[in-house]
Amino acid sequence: MSFRALIGHRQTVDRLMRAIARGSLPPTLLFTGAPGIGKWHTAVATAQAVNCLDDDARAAGDACGTCRSCDRVARGMHVDVLPIAPDDKASIKIDVIRDVLARTSYRPFEGRRRVVLIRDAETLELSAQNALLKSLEEPPDATMFVLVTSVPGALLPTVRSRTMRVRFAPLTVDEVTQVLERDHGHDAGPARAAAALADGSVGQALGLADADVVALRDAALRLLSEVAVRTDAPARVQAGDALLTMAGGGKKERSRDELGVVLRCAAALLRDLEAINAGVDRRVLAHPSLEPTLAALASRFGGDRARSAFASVDRALYALERNAGSKVVTEWLALNL
* Contacting residues toward Zn ion, per CB under 5 A: 52, 54, 63-64, 67, 70
Q: In the complex with Zn ion, which residue's Cβ is closer, 66 or 225? A: 66
Of 287, 284, 130, residue with least CA distance to 224: 287
The Cα–Cα gap between 164 and 16 comes to: 12
Amino acid code (one letter) for 286: A
Least Å from the CB of residue 112 to Zn ion: 12
Q: In the complex with Zn ion, which residue's Cβ is closer, 13 or 219? A: 13
CB-CB neighbours of 11 under 10 Å: 8
Coil, helix or strand for 246? Answer: coil
Q: In the complex with Zn ion, which residue's Cβ is closer, 79 or 133? A: 79
Least Å from the CB of residue 139 to Zn ion: 23
Q: Find the Cα–Cα–Cα–Cα dihedral 259, 263, 269, 273, rounded to 10°.
A: 140
Least Å from the CB of residue 73 to Zn ion: 8
Q: In the complex with Zn ion, which residue's Cβ is closer, 80 or 199? A: 80
Q: In the complex with Zn ion, which residue's Cβ is closer, 67 or 85? A: 67
Q: In the complex with Zn ion, which residue's Cβ is closer, 63 or 100? A: 63
Least Å from the CB of residue 244 to Zn ion: 54
Going by their DSSP bridges, the two strands 164-167 and 143-149 should be labelled as unpaired
Identify each DSSP E strand in 9-85 by its residue range. 28-32, 81-84
Of 265, 268, 216, residue with least CA distance to 242: 216
Of 186, 198, 195, 156, residue with least CA distance to 35: 198
The Cα–Cα gap between 31 and 45 comes to: 13
- Cα dist from 325 to 256, 261, 330, whole Å: 9, 16, 9
Least Å from the CB of residue 243 to Zn ion: 51
Least Å from the CB of residue 153 to Zn ion: 35
